[in-house]
Structure 1
Amino acid sequence: MAAEWWKKAVVYQIYPRSFKDSNGDGIGDLNGITEKLDYLKELGVDVIWVSPMYCSPMDDNGYDISDYYKVDPMFGTNDDMDRLLAEAEKRGMKVILDLVVNHCSDEHQWFVKAKQDPDCEEAGYFYFRRKEDGGEPNNWRSNFGGSVWTELPDGRWYFHTFSKKQPDLNWENPKLREKIYEMINWWLEKGVAGFRVDAITFIKKDLTFASRETEDGLRYPIENLTDYPGIGDFLAEMKEKCFDLHDCMTVAEAPGVGEETFRRYAGEHGYFSMIFDFTWENMEGEADKSSVEAVERWKQRILKSQRFTSEIGWNGLFLENHDQSRCVNKYLEKDQIGYAGASAMAVMYFYLYGTPFIYQGQEIGMTNAVWNSIEEMDDVRAKGMYREALEQKKDPQKVLEYFGELGRDNARTPMQWCNEKNAGFTEGTPWLKVNENYQDINVKAQEARDDSLLAFYRRLTALRHQEPYASVFAEGTVRPVMEELPAVIAYEREWNGRTVTVAVNFKKTEQEIPAINGALSAAGNPTEGTCLLSNEGEPERIGERYLLKAYQAVVFDGKMV
């Protein structure tokens, strides 16, 4: 694939509601982001991804948009957005936004008009259906639980993949598509550098809307209908009329895209610059996440994905995002959570084939919170599943336990800036509770230490930007090595005759790996490879082997002997 600017970038995702509150109302805002731009610059960030900040009733934390052109007052104003873009540009950073066009809010003017007048133009922007018997059009299940259909007072049912306050947009309607393209180009012309594209594989529907049989007799899961035939026509048109007109970066959230369709989505001439790689987002065998067997399963999924995607396209690499629990909780046992495990995972993913994304707080090792009741949570999906459990006479405590471990509220607790009131996030009452461990885990404490996780992340990004290694990571091939070593994830990146080797020991005990050789000496003999980065000091060399400590991660200039 041709070199693009986003291949050498490090992206930092900001969930604006939880990042930094500048006015004391308990909600993070755009001016709070601008206030912290120097922090992000020092971290080594090139691109800031700002999650939805558009006008919204906030039924789904901003993913229900009521005005695509206006910043929600809780986050500031359009002038504040202009200021953020300008200040980021001064620091050599770019800003991308969320693009949420599978659905909008039921309070968007389009849907408001469509409800009032079945014959208006806007009614064609949505999926409305009626049945002669007045019942639901089919048995499909929403991603947030319950039916994908909600009835209006006039007897029409409207379709929603997610919450009933998020009616799906009818991409079959060319007038609706033109409205979407106008909005996309408006933001790109304003100076936005691209988009993270939300839930895009849902935009094409099975227009028969026929019910489907299920073995358990329950509703048919809508997630089984992602990447439906014909979606490519819509995506190719959006690329032609919007993305191709600007030197922009697009990263798609594309559930349902597998090996057979990856090239269409993120190949050299794909619909998007990249898609997020979800193939290895979760560990198997969660009951013993740190066992050799569990790590081996995880390793095989990572390496299989890398072998495939490196041949045909580009990935967005991540450990965390706004929809995931914290990575230290997801991938590590409780007694392993800390600097060693977090830094080892950071090295493992940061130099793979793709663009690395850091989610806010990941760089300081923020953890899941402790949730004592469903009332403490904000997640609309968690509340819906909890309510559904009660209605079905199931144990709601199991729902609470599930979302306490894997729920997305864990990633949305306020950013922990210091050990003062509300972790320095706000002077007011935070919209979601602050994790109780903020006095131990916070930016200010880690900035004062050279051996902190934050300091290590700064070293990670520095190496990612340092030539010639930046070109190796952006252009180089990837080759798994040391695959026979249990719980070791290792690979080589090679470009233009230079090789970088990454090796991470996820075993709870020390382990030997082969020595790494650098370039040839004047006499033609291989020299010892230079250790470019290590989370636990330079590894000890014993003859033709290196000794890696438990959770030690190393990056060498050179290749395996």
Structure 2
Amino acid sequence: MKKWWHDKVVYQIYPKSFYDSNGDGIGDIPGIISKLDYLKELGADILWLSPVYKSPLADQGYDIADYYAIDPRFGTMKDMDCLIAEAKKRDMYILMDLVVNHCSDEHEWFQKAVQDPEGKYGNFFYIEDKKDDRTPCNWRSYFGGSVWEELPGHSDKQYLHLFHKKQPDLNWENPEVREEVFKNIRWWMEKGLGGFRIDAIINIKKKLPFQDYPADRSDGMCSVERMLEDADGIGKFLGEMAEKCFHPYDAFTVGEVFNEKEDEICDFIGENGYFSSMFDFEETCYGKSEDGWYASKYVLTPEDYKKCIFHTQQKIGETGLISNIIENHDEPRGVCHYILPEDRCLDSKKLLAGVYFFLRGIPFIYQGQEIGMENMDFTSMEQIDDISTIDEYKVALNAGRTEKEALQAASAFSRDNARTPVQWNTEKNAGFTTGTPWLEVNPDYKEINVESQLTDSVSLLSFYKKMTALRKTQEYKDTFVYGSFKPYKEDQENLIAYTRTEEKNILVMGNLQSQSRNVELPGEVKNVLLNNQEEVQIKNGTISLNPYQFVILEY
């Protein structure tokens, strides 16, 4: 069944770093409103906002103190209502971030649980008695250390937090918790949202009772992922949420889902799935080591990347529409993670963009991606704000790495790479703020910025506009949205090529190497739909691709 969101392009905004309207160094909702025309011209239809709820920002807003309030740093509820209305005028939709695995320890529910652990709100969380100073299990928090923390004011009790200690996990086994969450979702949908991006949702189902798993590091703890692999029954919670909150509003929802089992894909994103879509994290996770970032692969080769995206496309098939990304607020910049340093140039950035954008699924663009923003060259940990980066730096040191090696690993994968302010122009602070930015601006903003690319017909920004326009062209839209996917010449090294077939036959192809190559074509070329270079050389059923050339052909 065709849905309103199938042919849309989504743009993720990290509000704190997008655009500051009042000079306090922090991006805000009025700043987003002021850039709506820019986003519309880019071709964005749906805007996903990372959290702007009231929060102490221990994890940059993913620790929510009030689900019904906007944090004053970002604006007011009136500003939020204005954003929804202004987006609607432009036929655009707003997605909020739904963060309900945990809340903030400053949320009213947790404060009441602290006051009376045995009362109603004590059962909103996982609070356990201390026995012989032991924790109920040896799980390691995503941000390092035990998932158990002493309950404030109660030396005999402890509470569970899979993330930061200021993010206590909500007890989804309690139907009262679920109903409070559902009530909030419906409240926001009534305001006119298009839907939600659902954060860390796979974590809401714990394997109970609590138990230890074999330690995987010298700290005697194990990754939370071991527990998640063992946990069953999340469908009860997600199905209930979909039926009570999402389906009645025909909402677009995209889940941050790790560790899904292949036989569950239909349940997640099938015809009546829990969500409309979920992210493809195959290439995000590839090369990562459970030992830590220091032991992970900093840059994927073209063959690594091809292997990942092809595996996802073939695994999903036509079950549903996956959400395709090359970066987000939790990852390093895609052009630095998926393009080897010696291959990084304007043409290869366009090639990477084209390859991911026309896969079967929903394309997501993360702020600054459209101008090719790159990783920050961090020279000191003092430049780092991100809590997970600070933890991984310590992990590397504990593993015997030098400070230089630990910083290199932290710098390569730091979430702050994606959180440096958007580079709007060549003015002070890249035009992001008239004040002091909350996070240092990448010094390369003089070369990489929106203003310089707006009027440049061969810029990366112009290429992204061409891609969004092509995907929406009436003649080819159904093929790009619903067409089947099939790898092409998969065995050719550094060639990433695939076909999309529905009403039209389309070949998407990129030569990700510094040498030219000839490639046999699957049929007679009728049209060149997109090309990142000046010419396309086709002769006798063969195309000659220049270094880093990307083409889309109708055949």
TM-score range, shorter chain: over 0.9
CA separation of 1:175/1:75 partners in 2, compared to 1, >3 Å: closer, same or farther?
same
Corresponding residue of 2:205: 204
The Cα shift of 1:389 comes to: 5.8
CA separation of 1:540/1:189 partners in 2, compared to 1, >3 Å: closer, same or farther?
same
CA separation of 1:454/1:167 partners in 2, compared to 1, >3 Å: closer, same or farther?
same
Corresponding residue of 1:507: 513
Q: Which residue identity is paired with 1:452? A: S
Corresponding residue of 1:90: 89
Q: Which residue identity is paired with 1:554? A: V
Where does 1:70-89 land on structure 2 (aligned, <5 Å)? 70-89=69-88
The Cα shift of 1:283 comes to: 5.9
The Cα shift of 1:134 comes to: 3.2
Corresponding residue of 1:556: 553
Q: Deviations over 1:284-323 (max 9, x none)?
A: 5987957xxx322321222122112123222000001000
The Cα shift of 1:542 comes to: 2.3
Structure-2-length-normalised TM-score: 0.95
Where does 1:158-173 land on structure 2 (aligned, <5 Å)? 158-173=159-174
Counterpart contact for 2:302–2:338, Cα < 8 Å: no
Q: Which residue identity is paired with 1:372? A: T
Q: Tell me, which stretches of 5 or more residues in structure 2 are unaligned?
A: 289-295
CA separation of 1:323/1:215 partners in 2, compared to 1, >3 Å: closer, same or farther?
closer
Once residues 215 and 487 of structure 1 are traced to their aligned partners in structure 2, the CA distance between those partners, rounded to angstroms, is 35
Corresponding residue of 1:351: 358
Q: Tell me whether 1:251 sits opposite 2:254 in the alignment.
A: yes
Corresponding residue of 2:476: 469
Q: Which residue identity is paired with 1:159? A: L
Once residues 454 and 324 of structure 2 are traced to their aligned partners in structure 1, the CA distance between those partners, rounded to angstroms, is 25
The Cα shift of 1:216 comes to: 4.6
CA separation of 1:330/1:186 partners in 2, compared to 1, >3 Å: closer, same or farther?
same
Q: Tell me whether 1:9 sits opposite 2:8 in the alignment.
A: yes
Corresponding residue of 2:240: 237
Corresponding residue of 2:291: none
Q: Deviations over 1:144-181 (max 9, x none)?
A: 00000001231210000000000000000001100000
Aligned residues: 544
Q: 2:534 aligns with which of 522, 537, 545?
A: 537
Q: Which residue identity is paired with 1:305? A: T
Counterpart contact for 1:46–1:93, Cα < 8 Å: yes
Counterpart contact for 1:500–1:556, Cα < 8 Å: yes
The Cα shift of 1:390 comes to: 6.2
The Cα shift of 1:441 comes to: 0.3
SS of the equivalent of 1:356 reads strand
Report the aligned-residue RMSD: 1.8
Q: Which residue identity is paired with 1:404? A: S
Once residues 514 and 423 of structure 1 are traced to their aligned partners in structure 2, the CA distance between those partners, rounded to angstroms, is 45
Once residues 359 and 399 of structure 2 are traced to their aligned partners in structure 1, the CA distance between those partners, rounded to angstroms, is 45
Once residues 356 and 180 of structure 1 are traced to their aligned partners in structure 2, the CA distance between those partners, rounded to angstroms, is 28
Where does 1:282-431 land on structure 2 (aligned, <5 Å)? 284=287, 289=299, 294-387=301-394, 395-431=402-438
Counterpart contact for 1:143–1:223, Cα < 8 Å: no
Corresponding residue of 1:525: none
SS of the equivalent of 1:7 reads coil
The Cα shift of 1:23 comes to: 0.2
Once residues 203 and 49 of structure 1 are traced to their aligned partners in structure 2, the CA distance between those partners, rounded to angstroms, is 22
Corresponding residue of 1:225: 227
SS of the equivalent of 1:119 reads coil
Q: Tell me whether 1:101 sits opposite 2:103 in the alignment.
A: no
SS of the equivalent of 2:318 reads helix
The Cα shift of 1:137 comes to: 1.9
Once residues 99 and 352 of structure 1 are traced to their aligned partners in structure 2, the CA distance between those partners, rounded to angstroms, is 26
Structure-1-length-normalised TM-score: 0.94
Once residues 366 and 216 of structure 1 are traced to their aligned partners in structure 2, the CA distance between those partners, rounded to angstroms, is 35
Q: Percent identity?
A: 46
The Cα shift of 1:51 comes to: 0.6
Q: Which residue identity is paired with 1:64? A: D
The Cα shift of 1:336 comes to: 2.3
CA separation of 1:282/1:139 partners in 2, compared to 1, >3 Å: closer, same or farther?
closer
Once residues 473 and 171 of structure 2 are traced to their aligned partners in structure 1, the CA distance between those partners, rounded to angstroms, is 46
Q: Which residue identity is paired with 1:71? A: I
Corresponding residue of 2:193: 192
CA separation of 1:407/1:441 partners in 2, compared to 1, >3 Å: closer, same or farther?
same
SS of the equivalent of 1:21 reads coil
Q: Which residue identity is paired with 2:268? A: Y
Q: Tell me, which stretches of 5 or more residues in structure 1 are unaligned?
A: 519-527
SS of the equivalent of 1:226 reads helix
The Cα shift of 1:396 comes to: 4.4
Indicate the larger mover: 193-202 or 118-127: 118-127
SS of the equivalent of 1:531 reads strand
Corresponding residue of 1:63: 62
SS of the equivalent of 2:356 reads helix
Q: Deviations over 1:93-137 (max 9, x none)?
A: 111010000000000010011011113211110000113313322
Once residues 240 and 234 of structure 1 are traced to their aligned partners in structure 2, the CA distance between those partners, rounded to angstroms, is 10
Q: 1:436 aligns with which of 439, 443, 454?
A: 443
SS of the equivalent of 2:149 reads strand
Q: Tell me whether 1:264 sits opposite 2:261 in the alignment.
A: no
Once residues 217 and 351 of structure 2 are traced to their aligned partners in structure 1, the CA distance between those partners, rounded to angstroms, is 42
Q: Tell me whether 1:280 sits opposite 2:287 in the alignment.
A: no
Corresponding residue of 1:523: none
Once residues 285 and 157 of structure 2 are traced to their aligned partners in structure 1, the CA distance between those partners, rounded to angstroms, is 40
Once residues 354 and 88 of structure 1 are traced to their aligned partners in structure 2, the CA distance between those partners, rounded to angstroms, is 23
The Cα shift of 1:266 comes to: 1.3
